[in-house]
Amino acid sequence: MIARRFNELSFVEKTDFVSTEQSLRVLLAIESSCDETAAAVVREDGAVLSNVIASQYELHEDWGGVVPEIASRAHLRRILPVITAALSEADCQPEQLSAIAVTTEPGLVGSLLVGLTAAKTLAMGLRIPLITVNHIEAHIYACGMGRDHTIYPSVGFVVSGGHTNLYDCRSATESRLIGGTTDDAAGEAFDKVARILGLPYPGGPSIQRAAADGDPGRFRMPRPLLHSGRLDFSFSGLKTAVLYAARGIPGPDQLTHTPTELVPDLAAAFQQAAVEVLVHKCLLAAEQLSYDTICVGGGVAANLAFREALAEAAAKRSLRLLIAPPELCTDNAAMAAIAWELFAAGHVADLDADVLPGLVRIGKAGNAPDDSELRLRMAGYIAAFTRLPEVRSEFAENPQAEEPQKSFHCLKQGA
């Protein structure tokens, strides 16, 4: 499997992918839950024929985090080129697809709606099943992609910018939330600490690079809830501890910027504290569930210090540790291969399926607002994609249904 990245203004060179076998069905998967616009063509045996990702990090860099409105507008501009590229890379025509899979929860409402509207329009136009995918479950499923043996039952650990959650995973379609953060997610804490230290967004890679030259013992950082005996996390206090160590306590003498000479040691101290908590809670979950398999996914799972510390701790306890490959840790559509499991179990969605935005927290449910204007606009953009008269005619009389080809050509030309 090869992932391909491109930015908003250019496309990289084509890459050869495995050819589709005639005897096996293929589906198109769409992912747009946060700030990555992604599409993949996945065969029912799990082979990833294409995996195209358009990252938005350059759009959010100045803000130090994802701005929802900017993210949804970027998805709207990029969704058609990304889908087109994914099908082209896989040498697949829309008529050859057997299903459309799309992430509908959790995530940013506008971002999710762009992907869902595109998926619905394709499914309706092609008259093929629509399969809705849980983004968190897909991250865990990515740990087993390319493996011959099952990864279930297992402790599922998703560590990302929005979530730091532990799950009791019985199968690909059955998981239960057993623990999570009470405030900031681990990835969010990395981003905020990077901003405190004057390091660029995204914070995970920046902290890792800075920490490589630092002494974690120079600053003593708290390990929130480390010995609570519960599977809860809290990173807000750790973030504040870094702020005070870097600039002093609030008051007239507090610095406005972190002294450059302190950055490596502060980065190392923060990373060590965060990793220690993450590893401890993950092992505690395995102990409480009596499972011998741990599956870890999400953007923070790409952090080298975390991977090494968890691998060492798991080996000492004879636990099987499965961490998603780095290219599948960050958001991507290939991990929506879980849709084949859902399809086999009969989990097919209706065309009135909705998104469930927000963050997954214990005792908290997302709310799906009515955003009919955005849905209608997206439907107008996607309608012409399949070139099917019954799809196009449904929106032909609506003045808000803009011509999609204009947007697509401007994007390719770098306008």
**Are 241 and 376 in the same domain?**
no
- Cβ atoms of residues 373 and 115 within 8 Å: no
- Is the pLDDT at 51 greater than 70? The verdict is yes
- pLDDT, one tens digit per residue, over 257-297 is 999 999 999 999 999 999 999 999 999 999 999 999 999 99
The reported pLDDT for the residue numbered 11 is 30
- Is the pLDDT at 21 greater than 70? The verdict is no
**Are 251 and 339 in the same domain?**
no
- 3-state SS class at 402: coil
**Are 111 and 27 in the same domain?**
yes
Residue 410's H or E segment, with its range, is helix 404-412
pLDDT bucket at 63, cuts 50 / 70 / 90 = confident
**Are 189 and 317 in the same domain?**
yes
- Greatest mean pLDDT among 8-22, 341-355, 368-382 lies in 341-355
- Is the pLDDT at 79 greater than 90? The verdict is yes
- pLDDT, one tens digit per residue, over 155-175 is 999 999 899 999 999 999 999
**Are 204 and 226 in the same domain?**
yes
Beta pairing, strands 36-43 & 4-6 = unpaired
Residue that terminates a domain, selected from 282, 304, 323: 323
pTM: 0.81
N-terminal to C-terminal alpha carbon distance within the chain: 31
pLDDT bucket at 363, cuts 50 / 70 / 90 = low
- Is the pLDDT at 5 greater than 50? The verdict is no
- The answer as to whether 303 is a domain residue is yes
Mean pLDDT computed over 361-386: 50
CA-based nearest residue to 175, from 283, 295, 298 = 295
**Are 151 and 276 in the same domain?**
yes
Residue 265's H or E segment, with its range, is helix 263-289
The reported pLDDT for the residue numbered 364 is 55
| pLDDT over 90 percentage in the chain | 74
CA-based nearest residue to 71, from 135, 8, 120, 142 = 8
Residue that terminates a domain, selected from 306, 323, 340: 323
Residue that terminates a domain, selected from 295, 323, 351: 323
Mean pLDDT computed over 5-14: 34
- The answer as to whether 310 is a domain residue is yes
Give phi and psi for 202, each to the nearest 5.
-75, 150
Give phi and psi for 63, each to the nearest 5.
-95, -10
Mean pLDDT computed over 325-346: 93
Contacts of 280 (CB under 8 A, 6+ apart): 223, 226
- Is the pLDDT at 35 greater than 70? The verdict is yes
- 158: containing domain: 146-323
- The answer as to whether 177 is a domain residue is yes
- Cβ atoms of residues 135 and 106 within 8 Å: yes
Mean pLDDT across the chain:
85
For residue 175, list its beta bridge partners. Answer: 169
**Are 239 and 360 in the same domain?**
no
- Is the pLDDT at 374 greater than 80? The verdict is no
Q: What CATH number has the domain bearing residue 221?
A: 3.30.420.40
Mean pLDDT computed over 16-44: 83
Count of domains in the chain?
A: 2
**Are 224 and 297 in the same domain?**
yes
Q: What is 203-251 written as a DSSP string? A: HHHHHHHHHTT--TTSS----TTTTSSSS-B--HHHHHHHHHHHH-SSS
Mean pLDDT computed over 64-75: 91
| pLDDT over 70 percentage in the chain | 82
The reported pLDDT for the residue numbered 226 is 96
- The answer as to whether 187 is a domain residue is yes
- Is the pLDDT at 323 greater than 80? The verdict is yes
- The answer as to whether 105 is a domain residue is yes
DSSP letter, residue 412: H
- The answer as to whether 140 is a domain residue is no
- Is the pLDDT at 398 greater than 90? The verdict is no
- pLDDT, one tens digit per residue, over 201-242 is 999 999 999 999 999 999 999 999 999 999 999 999 999 999
- With tokens 């860099």, the residue in question is 61
The reported pLDDT for the residue numbered 93 is 97
**Are 167 and 217 in the same domain?**
yes
**Are 28 and 102 in the same domain?**
yes
d(CA 225, CA 273): 12
d(CA 3, CA 89): 11
- The answer as to whether 141 is a domain residue is no
The reported pLDDT for the residue numbered 307 is 96
CA-based nearest residue to 104, from 389, 349, 384 = 349
- Is the pLDDT at 412 greater than 50? The verdict is no
- Amino acid 278 reads L
**Are 247 and 131 in the same domain?**
no
C-alpha distance from residue 397 to each of 30, 117, 324, 342, 401 (Å):
28, 19, 47, 36, 8
**Are 298 and 397 in the same domain?**
no
The reported pLDDT for the residue numbered 161 is 87
